[in-house]
């Protein structure tokens, strides 16, 4: 049975989708923009935006009863692949060993002109 995840510790969906879904002991998050849940603002730098997106992912997987350590796959969308190195430095703060598998993709544009968006799959 499918269960919708909804937490006040991450930004609300800006469209007709859920923050995340649990099904068969798996958590699937929607892409998380770097919107600060308290201020509603988006930071400016790729480092700050990566950190904010990952904090939003963390809030959702924790609401689902999982954790960063149980993330098995991440997808990182970048508006500019030149930001890959800086994104990676922040990413390492969240995933320190037994890294999840990951794809990093440059896209033409992200919602709200964000520099980065992150989605994950985790186990419970």
Please report the pLDDT score of residue 17 as a whole number. 96
Rounded Cα distance, 119 and 19, in Å: 10
Q: What secondary structure does DSSP assign to the chain, as a single string? A: --EEE--TTSPPPSSSS-SEEEETTEEEEPPB----TTT----SSHHHHHHHHHHHHHHHHHHTT--GGGEEEEEEEES-GGGHHHHHHHHHHH--SSPPEEEEEE-S--GGG-SEEEEEEEE-
Mean pLDDT taken over the chain? 97
- Show the CA angle centred on residue 98, arms to residues 76 and 26, nearest 5°: 65
R_g of the chain computed on alpha carbons: 13
CB 71 within 8 A of CB 120: yes
Domains identified in the chain and CATH numbers: 3-123 (3.30.1330.40)
> Is residue 11 very low, low, confident or very high in pLDDT (cuts 50, 70, 90)?
very high
For the stretch 20-71, pLDDT in tens is 999 999 999 999 999 999 999 999 999 999 999 999 999 999 999 999 999 9
pTM, two decimals, is 0.96
Indicate if the pLDDT at residue 115 is higher than 90. Answer: yes
How many CA atoms lie within 13 Å of 9's alpha carbon, on the beta-carbon side? 13
Please report the pLDDT score of residue 97 as a whole number. 85
């Amino acid at each position: 049975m499918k269960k919708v995840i909804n937490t006040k510790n991450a930004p609300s969906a800006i469209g007709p989708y859920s923050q995340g879904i649990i099904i068969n002991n798996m958590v699937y998050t929607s892409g998380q923009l770097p919107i600060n849940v308290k201020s509603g603002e988006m930071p400016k730098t790729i480092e700050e935006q990566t950190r904010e997106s990952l904090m939003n992912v963390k809030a959702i997987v924790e609401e689902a009863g999982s954790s960063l350590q149980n993330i098995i796959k991440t997808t990182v969308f970048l508006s500019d692949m030149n930001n890959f190195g800086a994104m990676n430095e922040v990413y390492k703060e969240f995933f320190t060993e037994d890294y999840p598998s990951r794809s990093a993709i440059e896209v033409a544009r992200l919602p709200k002109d964000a520099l980065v968006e992150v989605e994950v799959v985790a186990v419970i």
